[in-house]
Amino acid sequence: MRKILLTLLTIWLFAPSASALTVTIQPGQLSGKVTNGETSLVVKGTMDARDFAFIADSLNSLVTLDMSGAAIAAYSTQDVLFLNIHDYEAGVVPATSLAGKQTLTTLKLPASATGIGTAAVAGCTNLSSLTLPTGLVTIGDMAFTACNKLTTLALPATVTSIGERAFAHCVALTGVSINGGNTAGALTVGDAAFLGCTKLATAALGNKLASIGNEAFVGTVIKQANLSATQLSHVGDWAWASTKLQSASLPGTVTELGQGAFLYLTTLTSVAIPSTLNSIPDFLFTGDNALQVAETFIPEGVDSIGDYAFYNWNQVAVLTIPASVEYIGTQAMAGMTGLTTLNALPTAVPALGDDVWLGVNQPAVHLVVPNASFNAYKEAAQWKEFNVMVNGRKGDINNDGAVNATDLNMIINYLLGKNPQPFNFWAADIDDNNNVDGSDMNSIINIILGKASYAPALLNPNTGDVITAEPLAIKPGETRQLRLLLDNSMLYTALQADITLPTGLTMVSGSASATERTSAHTVVTSDDESNVRLLVYSATGNEIRNSDNHTIVTITVQADASLPVESFITIDGVVLATADGDTYLAEATESPVSNVTGVDDLTAATYRVYAAGSVLHIEAAEATTAQLVAVNGMTTPLQVEVGDNTYSDLNAGVYIVRIGGQSHKVLVR
């Protein structure tokens, strides 16, 4: 027992003190106040490069070093202290000054410092706790390279530059972030800044991130790069190569992507190319065979696609080459074994590198090209091996860029033996069985109704004819018929429209039906009860009758308690097709919906004002007078009786009706 007590006493007497030595110095004084063997040191006052040199050369047992209370003064010398540097800036931790401190575990840098020099803390392999200055602006090249025990990193909001290899091979680092978002200027991340950080899973670098250097994140395990809210303009070569990235969102400010920036990301499923890019660089998405892309993945404006850019994309079935593309590089699309359709929009056949489609079964792939360029593609090397056909898309029979009621009209005319022109047989043969039949007609109907791919795109309105909904009064809990009206000067054989019902009003499923005007037509709608796509067509090519009764379709609607007192039914996306296959697009319309009905309910609302075609209606519960104000300011008094008052001698245009202390805006056609 006595020996044990003596041993414990000896350990206690000769063990190093757990308390830190605190010194307050002026520049160059540290060597006179500290001796080698110190393990914990707090430095206050002002220090310069000489004091950092003393720490580097003499204090080889430091475990903790706290310089947060010290300032760094400038110093110039003819002697060599660090890296043959003779002039040391104020506020900057000198280059290599703490590098290789193997015993150091805790470090607090001077709070007033604005910069950290080249390799200043590199190779501190046991450093696990790091406190950075709150006003730090620049982190030098290799500043913290191979600090193997750092696990998280919170950078001050003032940082604008992270140098080359600044945190490379910090193998325990799991996350890096900017505290509170950037408050300074644009942030640049240098080449290989986080190269080999094999546990780095998150990098939140704020909304002022402007540039990512070459190989910046190679070897990390970051899964999402959500950069759309940043100022990013430059992404360097191989920046994310061979990482675990699953998705990437880039802002429209990006003007330059380096070669191989997303090379061999086998986990990447989602990414968008900014429309600001002029070219797709070499190796950009090489080997990214899990990526799911739209057929329009390559944005218009790209003029060249680099070597191996989409190499081994075996999951892509349909891809469009924009009209702006002039060159496609060597093996850019090699290994795209899943390709079925390649839409080539350039009118001038793009020049090619070597073996662009190596490994692709080109004769089995539809190459869809502009009509005027068919022969040029058919004769061009590497292009002619495809199954070349004229430009179009499935269902777009007249090649106008949209799949709509006109295309349905054309396929009906074709089935009736009327030989409509222009007629793109490939686009009409939707099931690719080399035959155009009723099955293809049904497929086009499903496309128009949004039940299949290639939903219609609409151009600008080019007809004065419109489809409107009859003004509707309906109580919550009530079911009523709603009339849809076609006000037309031309005759049509098919039409489609998108009907948006207000909150609280829904269509009763399957209730749409033709009227006397469309009795020889088929009426179908989409399954959505609040956003209804309507399609009316005649399988025998009959025209919609032109009569005084404007009603073309009726649908049954029902209201619930959420229906507002006043709301609107909107009809847009209107396509009208003639027997000759011409397409006309109509303006959107709005029709009022009120949740009061009849004279009894009208007592609460007192008046309802609406226009049905060229007729103005004012429904009143009591007699009164109203003012009709035209857009030119001319005011006309109107005598209003109890019931439905109609006024038909009006010019087409927008009017304001003032009645009962309220103003109502109406469109008279």
Same domain for 484 and 544?
Answer: yes
Cα 257 from Cα 249, distance rounded (Å): 13
Using DSSP, state whether 226 is helix, strand or coil: strand
Confidence class for position 8, pLDDT limits 50, 70, 90: very low
Domain stop point among 567, 594, 621? 594
Same domain for 577 and 527?
Answer: yes
Count CB atoms within 10 A of the CB of residue 15: 8
Residue 404 tokens read as 């709509």
Q: Considering the domain boundaries, does residue 554 fall inside one? A: yes
Instruction: Among 60-64, 148-152, 639-643, name the one with the lowest average pLDDT.
Output: 639-643
Instruction: Report which secondary-structure segment, H or E, holds 378.
Output: helix 374-379
- Structural domains of the chain, count: 3
301 class by beta-carbon count within 10 Å (0-12 exposed, 13-18 middle, 19+ buried) = middle
Q: 296-318 pLDDT, tens per residue? A: 899 999 999 999 999 999 999 98
Q: Considering the domain boundaries, does residue 341 fall inside one? A: no
Q: Are strands 21-25 and 40-47 parallel, antiparallel or unpaired?
A: parallel
CATH number where 641 lies: 2.60.40.3770
Query: What are the angstrom distances between the C-alpha of 471 and each of 480, 567, 593?
Result: 12, 10, 6
Same domain for 498 and 614?
Answer: no
Instruction: Among 200-204, 238-242, 421-425, 541-545, name the one with the lowest average pLDDT.
Output: 421-425
Same domain for 614 and 639?
Answer: yes
Do residues 187 and 212 lie in contact, with contact meaning Cβ atoms separated by under 8 Å? no
**For range 400-407, the mean pLDDT:** 81
Confidence class for position 462, pLDDT limits 50, 70, 90: confident
What is the model's pTM? Answer: 0.59
Higher-confidence position of 48 and 470? 48
Do residues 139 and 194 lie in contact, with contact meaning Cβ atoms separated by under 8 Å? no
Residue 574 tokens read as 């209107």
Instruction: Among 9-18, 263-272, 524-533, name the one with the lowest average pLDDT.
Output: 9-18
Same domain for 495 and 590?
Answer: yes
Domain stop point among 568, 594, 620? 594
Domain that holds residue 495: 466-594
Cα 514 from Cα 521, distance rounded (Å): 7
Report how far Cα 643 is from the mean position of its chain's Cα atoms.
Answer: 53
Same domain for 662 and 543?
Answer: no
**For range 492-499, the mean pLDDT:** 90
Same domain for 510 and 556?
Answer: yes
Q: Considering the domain boundaries, does residue 634 fall inside one? A: yes
Same domain for 432 and 473?
Answer: no
Q: Give me the residue label for tokens 């003499």.
A: 58
